[in-house]
Amino acid sequence: MIRTAFFISDGTGITAESLGRSLLAQFENVEIRKLTKPYIDTIEKARSLVSIIEATAIRDGVQPIIIDTIVDERIRDVIRAAPGFKVDIFSTFLEPLERELDTHSSYSVGRTHAIASDDAYMDRIHSVHFALDNDDGARTHQYDKADVILVGVSRCGKTPTSLYLALQFGVRAANYPLTEDDQDENGSLKLPAVLARQRHKLFGLTIDPRRLSAIRHERRPNSRYSSIDQCMQEVAQAEAMYRKLHIPFIDTTRFSVEEISTRMIAETGINRRFSPR
C-alpha cells in the first residue's frame, strides 16, 4: 500500500518538509508519496488543496498524512476539515511553549526563513561565492581565506558539500581534486605544495569505488575514467594519503550531503557563522 504525505505551509514549506521527511524516514518499510504544498496563504487555496487531499484519499483507499506549519488559524481550520492523519507542527509545539514562556507567539508567517539581518544574509552570499570561486582547485591563492579545504578524487561529493557548508552554515569551503598530476615518481599521491601550506584546513572525502564508477559512468560511459579498476586505484591512493598524513576523512557513499557536512563540522570543530535554515 502506498501512503501519500502532504507537507503544507503558508510560507516556503521548508520547515514542514524537512521535519516531515525526517519523521517519515523512520518508516523504511512503508512506501510514501511525498507532496510539498507551499504558500497556502488564502482560504481559497486551502479549500482547493482540501479537494486534492479528498481525491487522494479516494484514490489511495486510505487517508493521507498531513504535516503542516500553517500559522493562520482560519486557514488551519480549513485544512483540519480534510480527511487525513494530521500533524500540526505549530499548534503541537507553540502552545506548550506559550504556556512555558508565559507569552503569546507572534504567529508570523515565514519567520524561520526570513532574512534575519543584512549582515547574516550577506555573509551567506559571500560564503556561496567563495565556494563557487574555489571549486575544483580554482584560485588556490585564496586558500588562506578558507575555513576548510575539501580534498578527494573526482566525483566523490566535494562540490555539493562545499556549497551546502556555505549556504547552511556560512563556512568558507574550497575544494581540490586529487588527480594523477599529484602522484610522485612511485605512483603514490603526494600532497601538492599549495595544500601542504594549509594542511591544518584539509578534510578528505572518499567513496566506495563501485559507487564512484557508477557516478562517473553517467558522465563518461565506457571510459578509463569510469572503469572500476581506475576508481579502485584512485580511492585506495587517496585513503592511503589521508592515513599517512593524518588527514581526517569521511566515506560519502551512504551519507547525504547534510550528514557529510554536519559530521565534518562536528569532527573538525569549524565555527558556523550562522545556524542552518
List residues forming the annotated binding site for ADP: 152-159
In which residue are the cell numbers 486551502 written?
A: 46
Going by the annotation, the residues of the binding site are 152-159
d(CA 260, CA 25): 18
Q: Is the dihedral of CA 7, 8, 12, 15 positive or negative?
A: negative
At 128, list the grid cell: 556561496
C-alpha to C-alpha distances, 77 to 9, 46, 74, 266, nearest whole angstrom: 13, 9, 5, 42
Q: Are 36 and 4 in contact (CB under 8 A)?
A: no
Beta-ladder partners of 250: 205
Secondary structure class of 197 (helix, strand, coil) = coil
